[in-house]
Structure 1
Amino acid sequence: MQGFLNLNKPLDWTSHDCVARVRKLLRLKRVGHAGTLDPLATGVLPIALGKATRLLQYLPGEKAYQATVRLGVQTTTDDLEGEVISSQPCAGLDLMAVKTALDGFVGKIEQIPPSFSAIQVEGKRLYDLARKGEVIQAPTRTVEVLAIEVLEWRDGDFPEVDMAIACGAGTYIRAIARDLGIVLNTGGTLAALTRTASSGFNLPDSLTLDDLASQLETGIFQPVSPDTPLQHLPSVSLSTASAKKWCQGQQVAVDINFGLVRVYDESRFLGIGTSQDNLLIPQMVFEPIS
């Protein structure tokens, strides 16, 4: 079996837990995922099956989330999983001030990832170090936030704002929640998070683990075709003779210079190539021709 599973990750499961469960349900060793989701987050977790694990690096990086930020509270993990380190009611805060502050988070921004994160520093993941009491600040990184839309505002001593966020790869929504609280001088933490789109997959088309188990039991499960989430890449179709040479690792002449491309013969997806100087160079042969 090869292709992708658009999984709707359940609450309180790690991404690794999901991969392990899918591996067991499908009785498949080669299973991987794109874009780690925190245990308290739900939503789209792309799962690669079989040889499709080799395609994970080529998936588009854009993601979208629906997030709830609670203001007046700051935690060790920048979400409700951590310990509260400050709490100050801010009933006087209004939505206009929040919207004005959010404007500064759109575009290319500098962001420090949370101390409790999967980022590695000197070969060690930050959350492993943090759990041992070694809190190390990750290096600042440049990320891109494409859009933020306020969906709902709830007043109170600890007001909450629901928002839709579209962003590029590597953006931490927990960091946006934390930094929004810093800008407003109230403190802020992420109260809820659902990923609505990731790497070419969308939430309405996703399957829960129960859905997957049910479809496997009735024999109707079909993985998403390997090239479906790769539509952001241009495509090139080769003749049978050229396709065979390309699958054998040879460069073939083409009349394009697009960079990364999806490669096909007359009927099937063959893999990923690089087109430059009117030559198509193999990058990853997915389906060789015998």
Structure 2
Amino acid sequence: MRSVARDIGRKLKVGGTLSYLVRTAVGKLELKDSLHLDDIINYTKAGNFNEMLMSIEDFLDFIPRVALPKRKLFLFKTGNQIRFDHPYLRGGYVLVLNSRGKAVGIGKFFEGVGELKPVRIFNIP
């Protein structure tokens, strides 16, 4: 939107800026689902901070998922690229899960070579 205002201003030879801009959504996050600062303070004071957070699994629901066996999961979590063949995955990012279905990190799967490389590891107890 900023560039549209600028471009219109240039065409009209008067300049163009925005005085106000509200981002109503980013991906699946919408403005209506946001919290006010007072809500965050109240949740925190009540000891319910985690209740207001969206889980990683829900937030990243658009990324394909893979669950790794225990040994490969250990290697992945310690930063090692691992051999990993999957019949349905194409190359790209995947959400790596533990045996309980909890996210432990994001990896990049290289289809041609059958390898999974850690990109981000989540240090969540």
TM-score of Structure 1 vs Structure 2, range by shorter chain: 0.7 to 0.9
Instruction: Write the letter of the residue equivalent to 2:66.
Output: V
Structure 2 alignment gaps of length 5 or more: none
Partner of 2:95: 262
Aligned counterparts, 1:43-192, within 5 A: 173-192=1-20
Task: Name the CA distance, whole Å, in 1 between partners of 2:90 and 2:22.
Answer: 38
Give the deviation of 1:263 after TM superposition. 0.6
Task: Name the CA distance, whole Å, in 1 between partners of 2:16 and 2:119.
Answer: 44
CA contact 1:257–1:275 (8 Å) conserved in 2:
yes
Task: Name the CA distance, whole Å, in 1 between partners of 2:47 and 2:68.
Answer: 35
Task: Name the CA distance, whole Å, in 2 between partners of 1:181 and 1:232.
Answer: 38
Deviations 1:183-218 (A, max 9, x none): 244543213211111254211110111111122223
Partner of 1:91: none
Structure 1 alignment gaps of length 5 or more: 1-172
CA contact 1:274–1:283 (8 Å) conserved in 2:
yes
Q: Residue 233 of structure 1 aligns to a residue in which SS?
A: coil
Partner of 2:118: 282
- Tell me which of the two structures has the higher relative contact order, counting C-alpha pairs closer than 8 angstroms and 6 or more residues apart: 1
Give the deviation of 1:274 after TM superposition. 1.1
Task: Name the CA distance, whole Å, in 2 between partners of 1:285 and 1:225.
Answer: 15
Instruction: Decide whether aligned partners of structure 1 residues 249 and 198 sit closer, same or farther in structure 2, where only a CA change above 3 A counts.
Output: same
Q: Residue 56 of structure 2 aligns to a residue in which SS?
A: coil
Verify: 1:244 aligned to 2:74, yes or no: yes
Q: 1:215 aligns with which of 14, 27, 43?
A: 43
Partner of 1:68: none
TM-score (norm. length: structure 2): 0.75
Partner of 1:55: none
The structure with more helix, counted as a fraction of residues: 2
CA contact 1:248–1:288 (8 Å) conserved in 2:
no
CA contact 1:234–1:258 (8 Å) conserved in 2:
no
Task: Name the CA distance, whole Å, in 2 between partners of 1:243 and 1:288.
Answer: 14
CA contact 1:239–1:266 (8 Å) conserved in 2:
yes
State, as a whole percentage, how many aligned pairs show the same letter.
Answer: 32
CA RMSD, 1 decimal: 2.4
Instruction: Write the letter of the residue equivalent to 1:261.
Output: V
Task: Name the CA distance, whole Å, in 2 between partners of 1:217 and 1:270.
Answer: 28
